[in-house]
Structure formats: structure tokens, C-alpha cells
Amino acid sequence: MSRPKKIIRNLIILAILLLLFLNRSGLYFSPLSAHEHSERSIHYGPSNVVHVENFDGGKYILSKYDKWVSCNTVNRSLFFFWRLGDQPIGFENDKTKPLDFTWSRTYQNHKAYGIINDNRVKKIGITLSDGEVLTQTNFYDGLFLVTWTNNQEFKNIKGYDSNGQVIFESEH
């Protein structure tokens, strides 16, 4: 076999072996692909992605599925690829509350996310244990996501109306 033919043959074998490796090692070509597989393999979704945000080493994927709201994570791996993160499953939205939310963290990456049920809420403010307040006014299709990376813990969340009045507050 001539060298050019050998090279082509090697490249084909290489492509097959590479795909096999990627497949078995849980690596995906795109963050959304990892996210979709993450959801489906845990029997949730398919959710509607409203917002994607970067964090160090990965992405947050904020989405809505039926009456649930989730903020899945996917992690970058080996420069080009993506891997399942954690928390693909969402919480059930309590529509009786003006807004419903949850918060969690993985190592230094904290996130608080939720959904606005009452249109009067125009801004949310999350107070951390050191007093710092993180706010958001631009919601993603009614959903919000606030992230921080210091060691502060979530203290409470407030929902404000267009006049700046607090119309909802919660500490859980």
C-alpha cells in the first residue's frame, strides 16, 4: 500500500477510535449537547433553555421545563469538549408565590435562580452573608440567575416592584 493510502487508512481508523473514546468517556462536542444528554439520562426534560452563562471551567444553563425551573451545569474538559456537570433537575415552581427560587453551590461557584410569577416584580435583590446585595432587573423569559464566587452564603432574597417597594421577601 502506498504511503498516501496508508495515511488515509490511518486517518479513518483514528476518527473511529476518537469517536469511540469520546463516547465512552462522557465527552461531548458542545455544552448544549452535554446538557441535553444530561437531562435525558436522568429522565428530566427536555427543557427550554432561556439563558446560558459562563463560570470558571463551565457554563450555567438556565431553563424551564413544564412547571419546573432548573439551572444545570456543564464543565469544559480537555480544551474542546464538554462534560456533564451537576443538578440537571429543576425545582417545582410554586405559582402562589410572587417569585420562587432556590440556591446552591459547587465549590466556590454559588448560584441563586428562580422564576418571577408576579409581573409586578421588576427587580430582585439577593443579600449575602456579608451584606453585599446582588441584583437583577433583566430577566430571561421571566427567569433569573445570580452567581457569585466568594465564600459568602445566601442570606435572603427580595422582590421589588417598579417603585422599589419590597413585595416579596424570603430567607429559606
Partner 1 sequence: MPSPKGEEFLDDVLSFIKFPFDRATIRLELESHLQDKFEDYIEQGYDEETAGQLSISNMGDAKVIGTELNREHNPYFGWLWVLTRYAVILLIVVNVFFVGVSVVMSLFRSNLINEIPKSNIVYNIKVDKKVRLDDTVIQFTNVILEKDGQLDIFYDYYNTKLWGTGWSLGNIGTISDDLGNVYHSGSGSGQGGMISHNRRTVDHFSSEANTLIISYDDFNRKYRVEIQLKAGDRNE
Partner 2 sequence: MKIDKGLLGGGTLLLVLSLLEEADRYGYEIIKELETRSDKTFQYKEGTLYPVLHKLENNGYVTSYMVKAESGKKRKYYQITAKGKKQLIEEKEKWQTFSVAVNKVIGGGAHAFA
18: enclosing H helix or E strand: helix 3-24
30, 31, 35, 44: residue in contact with partner 1 (rule CB under 8 A): 44
Dihedral of alpha carbons 65, 89, 159, 172, sign:
positive
Interaction of residue 24 with partner 1, rule CB under 8 A:
yes
Interaction of residue 13 with partner 1, rule CB under 8 A:
yes
Whose cell is 483514528? That residue is 14
Interaction of residue 2 with partner 2, rule CB under 8 A:
yes
Question: C-alpha cell of 57?
Answer: 471551567
Kindly write out the interface string for residues 64-103 of this chain, putting x where it contacts partner 1 by CB under 8 A and - elsewhere: -xx-x---------------x---xx--------------
What CA–CA distance (Å, rounded) separates 124 from 159?
A: 5
Give me the helices (H) in 25-68, please. Answer: 31-41
Interaction of residue 23 with partner 1, rule CB under 8 A:
yes
Interacting stretch for partner 1, rule CB under 8 A, among 35-43, 73-81, 93-101, 127-135? 35-43
User: What is the footprint of partner 2 within residues 3-42 (CB under 8 A)?
Assistant: 3
Question: C-alpha cell of 169?
Answer: 421577601
CA distances for 114 relative to 31, 97, 129, angstroms: 21, 11, 19
Residues that bind partner 1 (CB under 8 A): 3-4, 6-7, 10-11, 13-14, 17-18, 20-21, 23-26, 28, 37-38, 40-45, 65-66, 68, 84, 88-89
Q: Which residues bind partner 2 (CB under 8 A)?
A: 1-3
